[in-house]
Structure 1
Amino acid sequence: MLIEGTVGRAVVVFGIDEDPGPELTFARGVTLYAAGSDADPPDDAGPIGVAGQGDAGPAALAFAARHPERVDRLALIATPIPDDLELDLSTVTVKTLLLFGAKDLATGSTHGRWWQQRLPDARLEMNPQGGPDLLGPMWKRVLSHLAPSCRR
């Protein structure tokens, strides 16, 4: 756990070691967890929002697919098209935010559109100034999607 919240909502992020925006996370009142690919949902959390950054995006997807009764929101940030994905994406039906940077040569709009076409409830947002590291600069947007209406 990176920060303990007060609102009974957890946000699990794959691909981070520290809180990308401590002040914003604190203001939302969520409990923030950094997770590895074999993570289980926290026992003490209510609904869970899940995010995956970059190459950790498929781990976030797999987590959401394994725990549909707990995960109600998903965000993929600059996640490349996978070479091999052992998951039927049509089964991931949670509301999904796809964030990609227009200036990211490795995972720009082509990758974002690929995910959008395969995830049933996905919204693609392109950051015109964004490069590959979008999580920190876009943390407020990610939290507003993963923890809507949550405030400390």
Structure 2
Amino acid sequence: MTRAQGPGSELEYRSFGTPGGERTVMVLRTGPVATTDPDNAITARRDVWIVAVELQAPELEDPPAYAGETPAESTIEALAILAERESGGRPIGLVAERSTGEIAILLASHEPGRIDRLALVGVPEPADALAGERVGAMLAAIESPTLLVDARGEGEEPPAAAWYAERLPHAEVDLLPPTDGALDGRPGLTDAWDAVLDHVAPGAIRG
């Protein structure tokens, strides 16, 4: 595990894959598996350098704006510095799982030159109308092609991915069967790692 220093924030992360690979992919997750490889066999087939970042609850708090003093804003600044360092200044793919979605959206909306592909996996809808208005405004600013991975909704209720797709200029939705034992049946990164890498690292296949 490595620590990355940023303005007012210190991130825990681990890098793996192909050093100097064709594509750099930053992955944002929470919990004990955050810095593990979602699927070693799939990753090994790709010419990619993965930067897996563990975010904790305090680092996700209060993300109403980009340049401010909240914990989330300090996290965004640290992530931008880490992305620049690990990618050598080249564009990267950004992946977020579940509760890290809003941080990823905030980063992508303000770093269009750095983030050229985005994937949101199992990300729930905003908690209330105010949060929805804030997140919706950020989504409208994202020009990067975005993959939305979610579980098929129950009955007539649309999946959360539909809410995001309506507000993103360039979105593709991939619906999976509900995941047994997962939070609200939502898929995790392990369930969709192959499709996610196809999206954020197109063509980066090892020969």
TM class by shorter-chain length?
0.7 to 0.9
Equivalent residues of 1:2, 1:19 under 8 A apart = no
Out of 16, 27, 34, the position equivalent to 1:13 is 27
24-33 vs 130-139, which moves further: 130-139
Pick from 98, 119, 137 the counterpart of residue 75 of structure 1: 119
1:53-77: per-residue Cα shift (whole Å, max 9, x none)? Answer: 1111111111212211111110111
Q: Per the alignment, in what secondary structure is the counterpart of residue 97 of structure 1?
A: strand
| Residue of structure 1 in register with 2:16 after alignment | 3
Residue equivalent to 2:203: 149
Unaligned runs of 5+ in 1: none
How far apart, CA to CA, are the structure 1 residues paired with 2:35 and 2:86?
A: 21
2:48 is the alignment partner of 1:30: yes
- Which of 42, 60, 66 is 2:84 aligned to? 42
- The two structures have a TM-score, normalised by structure 2, of 0.65
How many Å apart are 1:115 and its aligned residue?
A: 0.3
Of 92, 95, 105, 1:61 maps to 105
Q: Encode CA deviations 1:27-82: one digit per residue, 9 max, x unaligned.
A: 11211012344312132412201111111111111121221111111011110112
Report deviation, 1:100: 0.4
Shift of 1:110: 3.1
Alpha-carbon displacement from aligned partner over 1:89-128 (angstroms, at most 9, x marks no partner): 1101110000001268xxx833111000011101111113
- d(CA) in 2 for partners of 1:103, 1:112: 10
Give the TM-score, by structure 1 length.
Answer: 0.87
Q: CA RMSD in A?
A: 2.2
Q: Percent identity?
A: 29
Higher relative contact order (CA 8 A, sep 6+): 1
8 Å contact kept, 1:51–1:74:
yes
In the superposition, relative to structure 1, how do residues 109 and 13 fare at CA in structure 2: closer, same or farther (>3 Å)?
farther
Tell me, in whole angstroms, the C-alpha distance in 2 between the residues paired with 1:129 and 1:82: 20
SS at match of 2:43: helix
Q: Is the 8 A contact 1:109 1:126 kept in 2?
A: no
Structure whose residues are more often helix by fraction:
2
Aligned length: 150
Paired amino acid for 2:40: P
Shift of 1:21: 1.1
Q: Specify the alignment match of 1:133 in structure 2.
A: 187
Contact 1:49–1:73, Cα closer than 8 Å, also in 2: yes
